[in-house]
Amino acid sequence: MDKNQMQNDIAARVALELQDGQYVNLGIGLPTRVADFVPNGINVCFHSENGFIGLGPTPKENEADDQIVNAGGALVTILPGGAFFDSAVSFGMIRGGHIDVTVLGALQVAENGDIANYMIPGKMVPGMGGAMDLLIGAKKVIVAMEHTAKGSPKILKNCTLPLTAKGVVSLIITEMAVIEVVKEGLLLKEVRNGFSVDDVIAVTEADLIVKELVS
């Protein structure tokens, strides 16, 4: 599949993890697509750190309002009952423990749940931003990312890039697998369609615990 299809596939799988009534933050990039795939009958209130609650799916061309954008600058919709507020209120929600789940991308994830998602040394970056608050403040952290970067593993024994937070990741969802961070390490919960256990192991530097497998 092409990159766009791959990212939609990952986002759709993430959406299956969400539960009715949750407050869910969506990080920039791939995670924002999750709002397009919420299953019928599940009501989730999406939060954007730049001051929105009640985000809806990606707007159709004739519905877009160029003054309503998420934290990454992408056009979004607001559902009935949604609200706008300043950054102090937005981060008060995050730091106050009112966000049930945050879905973020990552450059690397370690087998103990460490995450690096903001900086590649030598490259210009805008900074860590709200990720550090979300990773500590949210009750559950789901990483939504492609399994490799140019063929190199992103799921490692130890992160080699600067850390955003230590030991916070709960679940990793890629185009290849669903992996849970548990006390013993990384538990391979599901192998996605089109891949095998051996395929996943081959591009994962960290050791995987293979049991209770769904494919």
Indicate which residues carry an active-site annotation. 49
- Strands annotated E in 69-207: 78-84, 101-104, 108-110, 115-116, 140-144, 148-149, 152-153, 155-156, 171-173, 177-182, 185-191
* Calpha distance 66→63 (Å, rounded): 10
CB 148 within 8 A of CB 140: no
Q: What are the tokens at 122?
A: 């030598």
To which residue do tokens 């789901």 refer?
142
